Amino acid sequence: MANGKHAHVITPTRWTVFLRTFLPWQAWRFLAINLKMLGVIRRSHH
């Protein structure tokens, strides 16, 4: 299925794109993602 239009795809707002590399926000996300990963790692080791 070839798709060349992207007409039915959600795309990020400029604010969302900005936040992706905004250092204070990403520092918080760094902590949050690591905590989520540690949770999954803990559940995956029996």
Partner 1 sequence: MSRVVILGAGVAGHTAAAFARKWLDRGDTVTVVSPKDFYNWIPSNIWVGVGVMRADQVTFPLRPVYERAGIEFVHGAARAIHPEGTLDDPTPHVLVAPTGGMPDARVRVPYDFLINATGPQLRFDRTPGLGPDGNSHSVCTPDHATDAARAFAESVARMQRGEKQRFVVGVGHGTCTCEGAAFEYIVNLEFELRARGVRDRAEIVWLTNEYELGDFGMGGMQFNAGGYITPSSMFNASLFAERGIEWITRAHPVQVEPGRVHYETVDGTIGEQAFDFAMLLPPFSGVGLTALDRHGVDITDRLFQPNGFMKVDADYTAKPYDEWRASDWPHTYQSPAFPNIFAAGIAFAPPHAISRPYTSPSGAAIAPAPPRTGMPSAIIGKTVARSIVDIIQGRSGPLHTASMARMGAACVASAGANPFTGTAASMIVYPIVPDFERFPETGRDLAQTFGEIGLAGHWIKIILHHLFLHKARLRPGWSLIPE
Q: Which amino acid is at 3?
A: N
Q: In the range 1-46, which residues lie near partner 1 by CB under 8 A?
A: 1-4, 6, 9-12, 17, 19-21, 23, 25-27, 29-30, 33-34, 36-41, 43-46
Burial letters 2-27, b for 16+ CB under 10 A, else e = eeeeeeeeeeeeeeeeeeeeeeeeee
How far apart are CB 1 and partner 1 at their closest, in Å?
5
Q: Which amino acid is at 46?
A: H
Sites of contact with partner 1 (CB under 8 A): 1-4, 6, 9-12, 17, 19-21, 23, 25-27, 29-30, 33-34, 36-41, 43-46
